[in-house]
Amino acid sequence: MREQFVKEFVTKLVNQIPDDALKIVYQKLTIFVSDYEIEPRKTEIVPYEGYLPECYEIYFATRKIEGLSIRSLELYNMVLRDFFFQVNKQLTEITTNDIRVYLYQTQETRKISNATLDNRRVIIHTFLEWAANEGYIGSNPCRNIKAIKYERAQRKPLSGMELERVRNACETLRDKAMIEMLYSTGCRVTELERLNITDVDFEQKDVHLFGKGDKHRTSCLNVRAELAMKNYLATRNDDNPALFVSERAPHGRLKKPAIEKRVRQLGEMSKIGRRVYPHLIRHTTATDGLDRGMPIEEVQQFLGHVNINTTMVYAQVSRANLKRDHRRCIV
């Protein structure tokens, strides 16, 4: 192999340097490479050896049983597959440094934000913590990696005037009913999508929601929402059980993208100068509830938050109310 290398190298220099110099290069290079092992570089694609842990499918089955949503399962699967593909080690061989290098390289190559990066860290930590608790590994190598700091963008709720302008932008009874239902119940857009007519109890003023994590909860119907819903349902002449349907035949259930698109359009038509989306209305509902004296535990239950820390985000919004209550109470 050494001789072949020398000959091929010298051949490349023919007609580029004088023959006398070519002989010297040949002699010197022959002597020089005698102390080296030379092999041609392998350029074929090395197939991924597939280090997905044996417990991988068991983990996802467990999380599905625990009620993790389909969207969350898909996100977990995407992140974890990428992690194991990049690290390319057996589960028991993964170290804390492997995780740090993965997170660093992922941010460098993909230019993702610290918030997105920390979300990946949480997903990896959750899987490895489960694996440690189940006995698949001795300990979780991600425990020593601290949360990645980032600035949380504070979502500003709609003001009373902005909400009224969105209401005034509604062109149809369905528009009006949809906005009032979102605000009254504080429901997520997926919960609104799943609602059936039978889920609304006009007598008890209750709305039975089925949403995140396949969990049921009951929210409330205020007077505005009740009137808007009754007016809208009175115009329906289809037999679809869905609460909100498309306005064109065959009047299928209104899906999440269509709801988001219509709410965005209503926001644009209201000319309030910023984007309106279903979760902003949910945020507004929570903030208004807290501002008007609803205990945070009730808001937590109302919104369907498992962790009260999630609800605390809304409690930090109203600086004006804090100053007002401080003047009232701290005298």
Cβ atoms of 137 and 128 closer than 8 Å: yes
Q: What is the mean pLDDT of the chain?
A: 87
Name the residue among 223, 242, 225, 233 with its Cα closest to residue 182. 225
pLDDT tens digits, one per residue of 56-86? 999 999 998 887 888 889 999 999 999 999 9
Q: Is residue 263 part of a domain?
A: yes
Q: Is residue 314 part of a domain?
A: yes
How far apart are alpha carbons 241 and 175 in whole angstroms?
18
Query: Mean per-residue pLDDT for 97-106?
Result: 94
Concerning whether 104 is annotated as a catalytic residue, the answer is no
User: Looking at 6-20, 267-281, 292-306, which range is the least confident one?
Assistant: 6-20
Whether 77 and 29 map to the same domain: the answer is: no
Indicate the helix (H) or strand (E) that contains 65: helix 56-65
Burial of 320 per CB tally in 10 Å (0-12, 13-18, 19+) = exposed
How far apart are alpha carbons 116 and 97 in whole angstroms?
20
pLDDT range class, residue 264, cuts 50, 70, 90? very high
Concerning whether 251 is annotated as a catalytic residue, the answer is no
How far apart are alpha carbons 57 and 156 in whole angstroms?
40
Whether 66 and 27 map to the same domain: the answer is: no
Whether 270 and 319 map to the same domain: the answer is: yes
Task: Count structural domains, the chain.
Answer: 3
- What pLDDT is stored for residue 325 in this prediction? 66
Q: Which of 121, 165, 176, 282 is catalytic?
A: 282
Q: Which of 165, 188, 262, 283 is catalytic?
A: 188
- Residue 191 structural domain: 160-329
Q: Is residue 153 part of a domain?
A: no
pLDDT range class, residue 4, cuts 50, 70, 90? confident
Whether 287 and 175 map to the same domain: the answer is: yes
Concerning whether 305 is annotated as a catalytic residue, the answer is yes
Q: Is residue 146 part of a domain?
A: no
Concerning whether 81 is annotated as a catalytic residue, the answer is no
Q: Which of 174, 262, 283, 305 is catalytic?
A: 305
pLDDT at 45 over 60: no
pLDDT range class, residue 50, cuts 50, 70, 90? low
Concerning whether 23 is annotated as a catalytic residue, the answer is no
pLDDT tens digits, one per residue of 221-248? 999 999 999 999 999 999 999 999 998 8
pLDDT range class, residue 292, cuts 50, 70, 90? confident
Whether 93 and 218 map to the same domain: the answer is: no
Whether 26 and 61 map to the same domain: the answer is: no
Of 98, 115, 133, the position where a domain reaches its end is 133
pLDDT at 316 over 80: no
Q: Name the token pair of 267.
A: 């926001």
Q: Which of 71, 89, 275, 279 is catalytic?
A: 279
pLDDT range class, residue 304, cuts 50, 70, 90? confident
**Burial 26-62, CB ≥16 within 10 A → b, else e:** eeebeeebeeeeeeeeeeeeeeeeeeebebbeebbee
- What pLDDT is stored for residue 149 in this prediction? 84
pLDDT at 268 over 70: yes
pLDDT at 263 over 80: yes
Q: Name the token pair of 75.
A: 């996100």
Q: Is residue 77 part of a domain?
A: yes
pLDDT at 38 over 80: no
pLDDT range class, residue 318, cuts 50, 70, 90? low
pLDDT at 317 over 60: no
Concerning whether 150 is annotated as a catalytic residue, the answer is no
Helices and strands: H and E segment counts in the chain:
15, 3
- What pLDDT is stored for residue 93 in this prediction? 92
Whether 70 and 169 map to the same domain: the answer is: no
pLDDT at 55 over 90: yes
Q: Which of 212, 232, 262, 283 is catalytic?
A: 212
Q: Kindly report the three-state secondary structure assignment for every residue of 279-306.
A: HHHHHHHHHHHHHCCCCHHHHHHHHCCC
Whether 229 and 90 map to the same domain: the answer is: no
Name the residue among 191, 208, 190 with its Cα closest to residue 199. 208
